[in-house]
Amino acid sequence: MFADDDRPTPKKLHEIGCDLSFLSVAEIEQRIALLHKEIERLEADKLSKTSSRNAAEQFFKSK
């Protein structure tokens, strides 16, 4: 019914490869913290998927 195109897009907190020359040390530290949290999230998801895959492989090996 309504197009979502007219909604403002949220500003990205960090974009890989962006120019860092205008950032303060505090802003860089914030981005580093953000990226560490993202790495932790990715590693947790990877672990979950690996565990699920290993369980499935063990299930089908036992058959």
Listed by start position, the domains of the chain span: 24-62
Amino acid at 8: P
SS3 62: coil
* pTM score of the predicted model: 0.65
Confidence tier at 23 by pLDDT (50, 70, 90):
very high
Q: What is the mean pLDDT of residues 49-56?
A: 84
Compute the distance between CA of residue 15 and CA of residue 31 in angstroms, rounded to an integer. 10
8: number of Cβ within 10 Å: 5
Q: What is the percentage of the chain residues whose pLDDT exceeds 70?
A: 90
Confidence tier at 58 by pLDDT (50, 70, 90):
confident
CB 28 within 8 A of CB 20: yes
Compute the distance between CA of residue 57 and CA of residue 59 in angstroms, rounded to an integer. 5
